[in-house]
Amino acid sequence: MRVKVLSRNPDDYVRETKLDLQRVPRNYDPALHPFEVAREYVRALNATKLERVFAKPFLSSLDGHRDGVNCMAKHPKSLSTVLSGACDGEVRIWNLTKRQCIRALQAHEGFVRGMCARFCGTSFFTVGDDKTVKQWKMESPGYGEEEEPIHTILGKTVYTGIDHHWKDAVFATCGQQVDIWDEQRTSPMCSLTWGFDSISSVKFNPIETYLLGSCASDRNIVLYDMRQSTPLKKVILNMRTNTLCWNPMEAFIFTAANEDYNLYTFDMRFLTSPVMVHMDHVSAVLDVDYSPTGKEFVSASFDKSVRIFPVDKGHSREVYHTKRMQHVITVKWTSDNRYILCGSDEMNIRLWKANASEKLGVGKCKIVA
């Protein structure tokens, strides 16, 4: 005699404790659920909308400067430390964890035109309108000690930018020409020039560290090789480029912030045309900085906004602005890929989330005995 018996595994429908949710059996037969795809699409769309609704990207404002913030620099070893230079010659060092200024010093007479930290994080360099390059200790002076620079180099012309080599005790300044300096000498090791116009920005390549690029006011972007002490290549755009930034993950890729409201991503091996043109700003783009992953970059513009662009997209995925924010002059993406800092005309540094809807801080958890 044959007997048919229902056999069920109790693990499929019996709860382990009273706090567990009841398991609901589901039949995945598509004939019984004709609108499953449409329903899931609506759910996904609503979830995305809610993510945008609850996005709160603005975290805090660091105020204390008495003039517009003109430049910023990241500490290479400390995530919570950032440096800023203002138009009145003041330099401030900030603790982002406490969101307060831990040190302020009067570095220059007139604008602080550029600043950069040494690769080891023990000191930083500033250049200003008073034709000087100054090296300062990162640590505050001890009790009774005066606030004085470690070294001061007096130049012949105004320096408009500075950047430090990623591995060696070498830094580069720009003004009427690009000068390569050794930290121990008061005269440049070599001077590089191609044309006769003022250079606004100079940046070392973080991967191929002997390469550096500069932007000049005669619409040129010039690339140099430090080993040969000669310019390598030049690309001429329709309008002036304010600054450029190298991709930290792809050695030959850099992005230029231009006066024609666009950003141009170039491959330095094929400079005849840009890899991608990034559009969305409605005024001149003043600064650009890459994320540590090399997948995105952030731009600051005269149109009072900050935008985040994917490297391979022509339009921004995010735009940040507040009612009080004026022309954004400088922007930085923090080394942990979580935050964005921007400095603007109205004397504030603002801290933003890189991912607008990301939940930060300690999460709440319920412990059941």
Per-residue pLDDT tens over the stretch 5-62: 888 788 777 888 888 888 887 888 888 888 888 999 999 999 888 888 888 999 999 9
C-alpha 177/C-alpha 196 separation (Å) is 8
Q: What is the DSSP letter of 12?
A: G
Spatial neighbors of 277 by CB under 8 A, at least 6 apart, are 262, 263, 264, 265, 314
Which strands make up the sheet holding 296-301, listed edge to edge? 285-290, 296-301, 306-310, 318-320
Q: How is residue 197 written in tokens?
A: 């116009």
Q: pTM to 2 decimals?
A: 0.85
> Tens of pLDDT along 89-134?
999 999 999 999 999 999 999 899 999 999 999 999 999 999 999 9
Q: Is 134 exposed, middle or buried (0-12, 13-18, 19+ CB in 10 A)?
A: buried
Q: What SS3 state is found at 303?
A: coil
In CATH, what number does 237-356 get? 2.130.10.10
C-alpha 288/C-alpha 26 separation (Å) is 51
Q: What is the mean pLDDT of residues 265-288?
A: 95
- Are 322 and 304 contacting, i.e. CB atoms less than 8 angstroms apart? no
Phi and psi based region of residue 261 (left: phi greater than 0; alpha: psi -120 to 50; beta: remaining)? left
> Tens of pLDDT along 148-193?
999 999 988 899 999 999 999 999 999 999 999 999 888 999 998 8
Q: What SS3 state is found at 65?
A: coil
HSE of 352 in the Cβ direction (CA atoms, 13 Å)? Answer: 27
C-alpha 292/C-alpha 336 separation (Å) is 7
